[in-house]
């Protein structure tokens, strides 16, 4: 009976979280809401090769190539069910993707895109929190919706795109 007593007294205590002590109480309320991951963008030096990898080798549904001159890129979307990959290729010499590929010859992850329910409110609040936004006003992105980009140095080295849901 001595061993049983020791086992009973040394058993770990399990606590449950009550609704009055939920994690959501620690999150400050915002005028806008962060939504789902819309896509992960990958810069590619050879768009046809990248399209073929995802379509022919991996069997994904791959969109047609779309030119976005206002962003200096060609885009292709790869459907993944719960999100998308955006393949980016330079459109013109002044493309931000051209400079990215000069530093990263084989390509690589360029940015992540997260949806928000109110992009203007997000901009206002992020500026108050000293998060730099790379443009003064939202631009229309690849999905035909307003987008902004947050400075990677303010986001732990990740270029973050916010898209109006």
- Model confidence at 82: pLDDT above 60: yes
d(CA 160, CA 153): 10
More confident residue, 6 or 130: 130
Domain range holding 43? 34-164
Listed residue (121, 94, 99, 120) closest to 110, CA to CA: 99
In a domain, 111, yes or no: yes
Average pLDDT of the chain, as a whole number: 88
Confidence of residue 19 (pLDDT cuts 50, 70, 90): very low
Q: Contact 83/126 with Cβ under 8 angstroms?
A: no
Residues 6 or more apart whose Cβ sits within 8 Å of residue 101:
43, 45, 90, 107
In a domain, 12, yes or no: no
In a domain, 6, yes or no: no
In a domain, 76, yes or no: yes
pLDDT digits (tens, 9 = 90+) for 96-112: 999 999 999 999 999 99
Rounded to an integer, the average pLDDT of 112-125 is: 97
- Looking up residue 87, the CATH number of its domain turns out to be 3.10.180.10
Number of domains within the chain: 1
In a domain, 81, yes or no: yes
Which residues face 147 on adjacent strands? 139, 163
Confidence of residue 15 (pLDDT cuts 50, 70, 90): very low
The number of beta carbons lying within 10 Å of the beta carbon of residue 122 is 24
In a domain, 52, yes or no: yes
DSSP letter (8 states) at residue 52: H
Confidence of residue 129 (pLDDT cuts 50, 70, 90): very high
In a domain, 96, yes or no: yes
% helix, strand, coil for the chain, step of 5: 30, 30, 40
Confidence of residue 30 (pLDDT cuts 50, 70, 90): confident
């Amino acid at each position: 009976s001595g061993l049983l007593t020791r086992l009973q007294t040394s058993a770990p205590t399990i606590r449950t979280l009550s609704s009055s002590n939920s994690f959501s109480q620690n999150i400050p309320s915002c005028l806008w809401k962060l939504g789902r991951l819309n896509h992960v963008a990958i810069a590619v030096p050879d768009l046809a090769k990248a399209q073929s990898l995802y379509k022919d080798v991996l069997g994904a549904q791959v969109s047609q190539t779309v030119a976005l001159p206002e962003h200096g890129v060609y885009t292709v979307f790869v459907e993944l069910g719960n999100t998308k990959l955006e393949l980016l290729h330079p459109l013109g010499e002044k493309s931000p993707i051209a400079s990215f590929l000069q530093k990263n010859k084989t390509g690589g992850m360029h940015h992540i895109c997260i949806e928000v329910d109110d992009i203007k409110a997000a901009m206002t609040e992020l500026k108050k929190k000293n998060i730099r936004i790379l443009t003064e006003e939202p631009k229309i992105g690849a999905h035909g919706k307003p987008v902004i980009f947050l400075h990677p140095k303010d986001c732990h080295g990740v270029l973050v795109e916010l898209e109006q849901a």
